[in-house]
Amino acid sequence: MADVILCAGIHNKHDQMSETIIRMAGDGIAAVVDMALKLNRMLGEEVTAADIETTWAHAQDIYDPKWMEDDYGNWKSYGARRDLKVLCTTDLGLRRLVKADNEAGWVDTVLIKPKVILEEILSSSPVEAK
């Protein structure tokens, strides 16, 4: 986040960014960390019947609506293009892996699709707040 702020040119001192971010959204980050730790404990220690893990799509991944969800929901307007790429992920996804005797060795079930922003947003209308 500090890199993003510096990259956006809002600040120019990396040493001051920690205090700045904490001042801006310390409580929110603490809440996110607390929930992530709780999720770590839940998925790592309390679930043994399956392997449940969080998912997200990285930049330049090919957009696949089977595994992802467009955060702005307008990917259908891009027509039949199959080269839509992911710009970034905005919401975490969740999937469930169960070992099986099939060819892949497991059965993969998407519980929550990660929400992504497509690169095409750069060429479309200016980004607006949700």
Partner 1 sequence: MRVGRPMYRVTLSFLQFIFRLFSFPSQYAPCISAFRRSGKKGGVTAFTDGNDSSDPEPEFDSEDDYEIVSLRGFRTLENELKRAVAELDLKRGEVRLLDDKERRGREELAEVTQKLASVTEYLELLAEGMEKKKREFATTLGRLQEENRGLVQQLQERTAREDLLMAELAEARGVAATRGKDLEAVQARLSSTLSTVESQSMDLANVRTLLPKPDAVADTDAIKLVGRLNAEIFQTAALLAEACSSVKGRPLQDIDNQTATTRVKEMFGSKFVDLVQNVPHENNPAVLRIAFQACIVVFADWISAAWHFQADPAPQFFGEVYRNVWLDGAWPRPSVNLILRHLTYFLSDRGTGRRRSLACSNPQTRPKTRRPQSRRNPQTIHYAYLQFHGRCHPLRRHPQQTRPDV
Strand partners, 109: 96
Q: What residues numbered 100-119 form the site for partner 1, per CB under 8 A? A: 104-106, 108, 111-112, 114-115, 117, 119
The residues that bridge with 89 in the sheet, in sequence order, are 116
Q: Which of residues 80-99 bind partner 1 (CB under 8 A)?
A: 87-97, 99
Q: From the CB of 79, what's the least distance to partner 1, in Å?
A: 20
Q: How many CB atoms lie within 10 A of CB 84?
A: 20
For partner 1, what does the binding mask look like between residues 38 and 77, x meaning CB under 8 A?
Answer: xxx-xxxxxxxxxxxxxxx-xxxxx-x-xx----------
